[in-house]
Amino acid sequence: MTMPLIDPFARAIRYLRVSVTDRCDFRCVYCMSENMTFLPKADLLTLEELDRMCSAFIGMGVEKLRITGGEPLVRKGILTFFQAMRRHLDSGALKELTLTTNGSQLARFAQDLADCGVRRVNVSLDTLDAAKFAEITRWGRLPQVLDGIAAAKAAGLRVKINTVALKGFNEDELFSLLDWCAREDHDLTFIEVMPMGDLGNEDRLDQYWPLSDLRARLAARFTLTELAENSGGPARYVRIAETGQKIGFITPLTHNFCESCNRVRLTCTGELFMCLGQEDRADLRAPLRASPDNALLEQAIRDAITRKPKGHDFDYSRQSVGGQMSRHMSHTGG
């Protein structure tokens, strides 16, 4: 292995999130516009290039690979990429291969993913009400997603539900979501809505439900115990004594997690974002395609990591949206 990736704040980069497509079969209101203009196929990294790119990062110390989109499972032939990544799990260089999905295609792919060495999946699910689900996803059908989650569980995959906390939308489902996850033995993580995409400031402020309030509602009913464990991502976890559940909180606004950030994000076009909440990026597609060996690519990766910032600038505290990103969440895969 070559020298590991260390950023200017002495954080070792061990976690790469890879968007394999900008396309999705849903149009979730906080993630995408209803009428999106997608990238031409020629702009995307091929599956072979994605393999080479990810393998370079793994050779430089990345131990966790999370595949995202858009919706990663709508990318044609994506299973061959997961099959290729299996070799890094088998060698021990890669500790975890996982994905974040909307669940729509899990019924088709769950067993194949398990066969490739995937052991857990994150499923984005903001409501258990079919009508509200159709409203927030615009195009989604809740039964299809629930069938996919059931298929993942049957294949032996550990399922974590990711729920974006949205004021006036799913506040009333806090405890029903909790109860459902307890019955199904799914972990649950709540996420604060982030100021990304083309929604106006007023819309984001109207949606914003601080997790400090959500957590206080949980604490009023249950006994919460802080957990020291870390899954490699930004979530902080508690255990609910009464149910035994592990609940995560991703709080980029009320309590940012930047001090321990070990992540970078690669887009499907080969752009590397060193921070989700900053616009700075590095083009890795050009050096990848410029030479059949990885010398230029590895140097470009190292140069990019030297520009990783201390943290993001997301801020709602002054009744306006600070640090808003113009790109959609789907562009960098969350």
pLDDT confidence of residue 197? 47
Q: Is position 261 annotated in a ligand binding site?
A: yes
Q: How confident is the model at residue 232 (pLDDT cuts 50, 70, 90)?
A: low
- Phi and psi based region of residue 10 (left: phi greater than 0; alpha: psi -120 to 50; beta: remaining): left
pLDDT confidence of residue 3? 83
Res 314 pLDDT > 60: no
pLDDT confidence of residue 29? 86
pLDDT confidence of residue 231? 63
Using one digit for the tens of pLDDT, what is the confidence trace for 141-175?
A: 999 999 999 999 999 999 999 999 999 999 999 99
Q: Is position 36 annotated in a ligand binding site?
A: no
pLDDT confidence of residue 193? 84
Q: Is position 181 annotated in a ligand binding site?
A: no
Res 191 pLDDT > 90: yes
pLDDT confidence of residue 333? 59
Neighbours of 278 (CB within 10 A): 17
Q: Is position 124 annotated in a ligand binding site?
A: yes
Q: Which residue has the higher pLDDT, 94 or 209?
A: 94
Using one digit for the tens of pLDDT, what is the confidence trace for 243-302?
A: 999 999 998 765 455 777 899 999 999 999 999 777 789 999 999 999 999 999 999 999
Section 21-25 average pLDDT: 93
- The neighbouring-strand residues paired with 18 are 67, 266
Res 324 pLDDT > 60: no
Q: Is position 275 annotated in a ligand binding site?
A: yes
Res 238 pLDDT > 90: yes
| DSSP letter, residue 123 | E
Q: Is position 264 annotated in a ligand binding site?
A: yes
Buried b (16+ CB within 10 A) or exposed e, 70-82: bbbbbbeebbebb
Using one digit for the tens of pLDDT, what is the confidence trace for 44-102?
A: 999 999 999 999 999 999 999 999 999 999 999 999 999 999 999 999 999 999 999 99
Distance CA 24, CA 28 (A): 9
Please, are residues 300 and 274 in contact by the beta-carbon 8 Å criterion?
Answer: no
User: Which fold, 15-332?
Assistant: TIM Barrel (3.20.20)
Query: Can you list the positions of beta strands (E) in 76-208?
Result: 96-101, 120-124, 158-165, 187-192
Using one digit for the tens of pLDDT, what is the confidence trace for 211-224?
A: 999 999 999 999 99
Rounded to the nearest angstrom, the gap between the alpha carbon of residue 291 and the centroid of all alpha carbons in its chain is 30
Q: Is position 265 annotated in a ligand binding site?
A: yes
pLDDT confidence of residue 259? 76
Q: Is position 100 annotated in a ligand binding site?
A: yes
pLDDT confidence of residue 174? 96
Q: Is position 116 annotated in a ligand binding site?
A: no
Percentage of the chain with pLDDT > 70? Answer: 86
Task: Specify the pairing of strand 64-68 against strand 15-19.
Answer: parallel
Q: Is position 268 annotated in a ligand binding site?
A: no
Residue in 205, 206, 98, 220 with CA at minimum distance from that of residue 162? 98
The helix, strand and coil proportions of the chain, stated in percent and rounded to the nearest 5, come to 35, 20, 45
Q: Is position 17 annotated in a ligand binding site?
A: yes
Amino acid sitting at position 86: R
Structure tokens at 169: 């939308």
pLDDT confidence of residue 235? 85
Q: Is position 183 annotated in a ligand binding site?
A: no
Q: Is position 251 annotated in a ligand binding site?
A: no
Burial environment of residue 290 by CB neighbours within 10 A (0 to 12, 13 to 18, 19 or more): exposed
Distance CA 261, CA 309 (A): 10
